[in-house]
């Protein structure tokens, strides 16, 4: 492809400038050339080089507003707001209607969290700018900062009217509808957009997601099909359509779509995992296991992959194999609470109660403070005859679930067994007041306690 005349000149200017940096010479560049060079460095994240070019450009063209505004942009980027404001004030004294100056002022106000003031400056800029689409997009972002999703949506949609290819504005518009919990509104907006942009794969994809949220799977599939027609390499559309086919139990069709994604780009652990799930649903266990193994080989950090293998073996009651794989997972990520919970459950099945207790304790330490986890750990501690540790565990559980009947019945049982009858009766009364039907816990976990005459009398007094 041949370069346009301006683009070719710009590239020559950049090459000339970089060649100059390697020498001790200082060459002259016109202001337009400097603008391109500075923009190039900013756009590519080379701020240090941009600042150097700005310094040189202003030494050669000290009164060129566009170059001074680029300096303001860099200062704002570096959070040197006071310095940026001082320079901006000088620029606006000369050119008060400069749209770029108004935009930079809005940027400074936004950085200071003065979003309503920033909106006022951007609204002024609309009267002077030749690129209203960009200003509408900036206005949309400012409204997002103050959670005014209706106005934000309006601005992003105005941006799209002027620039239908601004996919950032398209995504932001959809996000506004999501924040407003307005799925029907999002569908209406996307259909209007597609009336004038019928081959926009992103819009079709987003429309499919909205229909999927409404569980209108027929329309969702049709939308994803149109996304694929618009761009047959659009992996996201294949994935979303396959996910719906899974929900509809059309597993073989889902597998075919996931397979297509593997041919479009490098294998993804997600697609491999889903293929494994589909094969498992089709009772093709060996193939399912093969894909689960490919999943963890592709991405050893994907916990869903390791859990899928572990659950596969647990389902088939091959607990030693399940334990082997969950141990490998823990070696890779020893702080994953789901791994430790599964480790505990498997060891519980294998009657390895010391290891089960370790698993429950570690899963709690790493964030699984669910009621069931506390109860399972306390039950294992009790089976290990760790009476004091059981009490500590149940006391800790009460901090998360105050006056929970299941915890209190267990505490009552342990207190009775350790001859702390006053504490036991207090817990039993509290438990019975909360839920007398759960008294069956005493019968199952502490049968000797349940047979006591005094305990039966207390329980009987609460039975309705």
DSSP string for 369-383 = --HHHHHHHHHHHHH
Q: What is the pLDDT of residue 355?
A: 97
- Please list, in sequence order, all residues whose beta carbon lies within 8 angstroms of the beta carbon of residue 210, skipping any fewer than 6 positions away: 183, 186, 187, 190
For the record, the structure tokens of 58 come out as 């202003």
CB 265 within 8 A of CB 232: no
Look at residues 62, 145, 135, 64 and name the one whose alpha carbon lies nearest to residue 102: 135
Q: Which residue from 342, 345, 276 is spatially nearest to 305, judged by alpha carbons? A: 276
| Domain pair 303-368 / 382-464, same fold | yes
DSSP class of residue 342 equals H
Q: Given 1.20.1250, 2.60.120, 1.25.40, 3.10.450, which CATH number is that of 382-464?
A: 1.25.40
CB 341 within 8 A of CB 373: yes
Burial of 125 from C-beta contacts in 10 A (0-12 / 13-18 / 19+): buried
Instruction: Quickly tell me which residue has 């609460």 as its tokens.
Output: 462
**Any idea which fold 303-368 has?**
1.25.40
* CA dist., res. 174 & res. 161, Å (int): 15
End-to-end CA distance of the chain: 87
pLDDT at site 186? 96
CA angle 350, 278, 345 (to 5 degrees): 15
pLDDT in tens, the chain (464 residues): 343 444 556 678 888 888 888 887 888 888 888 888 888 888 888 888 888 888 888 888 887 888 888 888 888 888 888 888 887 888 877 777 788 888 888 988 998 899 999 999 999 999 888 889 999 999 999 999 999 999 999 999 999 999 999 999 999 999 999 999 999 999 999 999 999 999 999 999 999 999 999 999 999 999 999 999 999 999 999 999 999 999 999 999 999 999 999 999 887 899 999 999 999 999 999 999 999 999 999 999 999 999 999 999 999 999 999 999 999 999 999 999 999 999 999 999 999 999 999 999 999 999 999 999 999 999 999 999 999 999 999 999 999 999 899 999 999 999 999 999 999 999 999 999 999 888 899 989 999 999 999 999 888 888 76
**CA distance linking residue 304 with residue 270, whole number of Å:** 9
Check: CB of residue 94 under 8 Å from CB of residue 65.
yes
pTM, to two decimals:
0.78
- Give the DSSP letter of residue 333: -
Number of H helices, E strands in the chain: 28, 0
- The DSSP call for residue 27 is -
Extents of the domains making up the chain: 303-368, 382-464
| Residue 39 pLDDT | 85
pLDDT for res 118: 94
DSSP state of 438: G
């Amino acid at each position: 492809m041949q370069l346009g005349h301006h683009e070719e000149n710009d590239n020559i200017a950049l090459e000339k400038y970089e060649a100059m940096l390697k020498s001790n010479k200082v060459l002259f560049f016109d202001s337009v050339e400097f603008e391109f060079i500075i923009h190039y460095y900013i756009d590519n994240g080379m701020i240090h080089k941009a600042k150097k070019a700005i310094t040189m450009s202003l030494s050669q063209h000290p009164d060129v507003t566009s170059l001074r505004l680029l300096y303001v942009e860099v200062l704002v980027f570096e959070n040197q707001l006071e310095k940026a404001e001082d320079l901006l004030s000088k620029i606006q004294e000369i050119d008060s209607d400069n749209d770029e100056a108004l935009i930079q002022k809005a940027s400074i106000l936004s950085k200071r969290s003065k979003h309503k003031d920033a909106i006022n400056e951007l609204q002024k800029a609309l009267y002077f700018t030749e690129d209203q689409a960009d200003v509408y997009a900036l206005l949309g972002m400012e409204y997002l900062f103050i959670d005014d999703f209706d106005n934000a949506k309006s601005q992003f949609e105005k941006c799209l009217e002027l620039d239908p290819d601004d996919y950032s504005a398209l995504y932001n518009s959809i996000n506004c509808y999501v924040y407003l919990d307005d799925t029907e509104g999002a569908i209406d907006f996307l259909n209007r957009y597609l009336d004038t942009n019928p081959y926009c794969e992103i819009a079709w994809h987003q429309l499919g997601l909205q229909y999927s949220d409404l569980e209108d799977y027929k329309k969702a599939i049709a939308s994803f099909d149109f996304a694929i027609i618009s761009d047959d390499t659009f992996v996201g559309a294949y994935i979303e359509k396959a996910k719906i086919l899974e929900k509809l139990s059309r597993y073989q069709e889902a597998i075919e779509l996931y397979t297509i994604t593997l041919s479009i780009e490098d294998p993804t652990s997600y697609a491999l995992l889903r293929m494994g799930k589909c094969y498992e649903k089709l009772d093709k266990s060996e193939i399912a296991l093969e894909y689960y193994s490919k999943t963890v080989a592709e991405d050893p950090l994907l916990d869903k992959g390791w859990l899928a293998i572990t659950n596969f073996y647990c389902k088939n009651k091959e607990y030693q194999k399940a334990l082997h794989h969950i141990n490998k997972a823990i070696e890779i990520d020893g702080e994953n609470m789901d791994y430790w919970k599964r480790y505990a459950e498997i060891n519980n099945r294998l009657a390895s109660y010391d290891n089960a207790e370790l698993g429950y304790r570690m899963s709690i330490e790493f964030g699984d403070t669910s009621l069931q986890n506390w109860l399972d750990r306390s039950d294992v501690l009790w089976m290990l005859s760790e009476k004091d540790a059981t009490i500590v565990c149940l006391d800790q559980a009460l901090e998360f679930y105050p006056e929970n009947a299941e915890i209190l019945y267990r505490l009552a049982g342990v207190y009775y067994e350790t001859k702390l009858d006053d504490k036991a009766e207090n817990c039993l009364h509290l438990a019975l007041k909360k839920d007398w039907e759960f008294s069956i816990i005493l019968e199952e976990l502490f049968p000797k306690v349940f047979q006591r005459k005094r305990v039966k009398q207390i329980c009987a007094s609460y039975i309705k």
